[in-house]
Amino acid sequence: MTEAARQKMVERVRGLLRMAEDPAVTDAESQAFTAKAAELMTRHAIAEAEARVERGEEPDAISRMDYTVSGVGGHGKARVKALADIAAAYGCQSAVRGNSSENTDRTIILVGTTNALEALRMLMPSISMQMEASARFMSSTHVSDIRELRNYTRSELETERKRYYRSFVRAYGQAVAERIREFRARLQETVSPETGAGGVTDGDGENSKRGAELVLRDDLHRVNEEFHKQFPQLRKHRPERTHSAAGYRAGYRRGRQAELGLETPVTSGGTSTLAEGE
């Protein structure tokens, strides 16, 4: 892809995301705009890997991006976990700074290829917006439902709402990450430099496909190497103790069903890792 073509694609993605974040559009329209943007960025990354092989160029550079995550509502840790899972699906590794249980913002530090980080920089705000909207709606519905069962105190209902919200967000991120991995794997089987996305190759198309797989595998190795160089003594943060099985199930289902343009409906394709007990 030429620089002019790449810039045109990036501008198209930005335009789609601006429309997705417009308060005037419906939830369905917002998801559809984000879906198309995600698909364009994912196709671009795979096609670029093949194109680099064809041109005999150096691999995509490894870079770093700092991304601020809101701590509003005390849900910062859950948001970090969800976004880290999604970033990992794009081949990135992450560390986090200031990940306390407070309502303050924290920073997730992403290390990945420039293509992957560019995609995440544009997509994460819109994916987060959909995730938060679903979490708010579902947690409110859950609290309304359990209020009917018995006479909970206001404090008990608020505690349950927070547990549900955090579990929902963590599971939503996990499900979206699974779908991104599935889509990227399928796309590697179909995209070629000649067609851009059509899956029809000629000449040495199969060699190019194998070359792209090697490039992407090498990207993961280089990202891992650079990450450990930057964070040689990284401490693992403690997982959140609060958990809601109902929130986790709902978040996972919503994440699998979210409109992302990845052609992986919840009823077909891929493997579900939602445990029976969750």
pLDDT tens-digit map of 30-76: 777 877 787 777 777 777 767 766 777 777 889 999 999 999 999 99
Count structural domains, the chain. 1
Residue 55 belongs to a domain: yes
Provide the sign of the torsion angle of the four alpha carbons 67, 70, 74, 80, taken in this order.
negative
What lies within 8 Å, CB to CB, of 112 at 6+ separation is 62, 63, 65, 87, 90, 91, 92, 93, 120, 223
Contact of 9 with 44, CB cutoff 8 Å: yes
Residue 265 belongs to a domain: no
pTM: 0.78
**Residue 69, beta-bridge partner list:** 106
Range of the domain at 36: 3-257
Residue 277 belongs to a domain: no
Residue 263 belongs to a domain: no
Residue 89 belongs to a domain: yes
Residue 7 belongs to a domain: yes
Residue 103 belongs to a domain: yes
Q: What is the pLDDT of residue 33?
A: 80
pLDDT tens-digit map of 75-106: 999 999 999 999 999 899 999 998 887 889 99
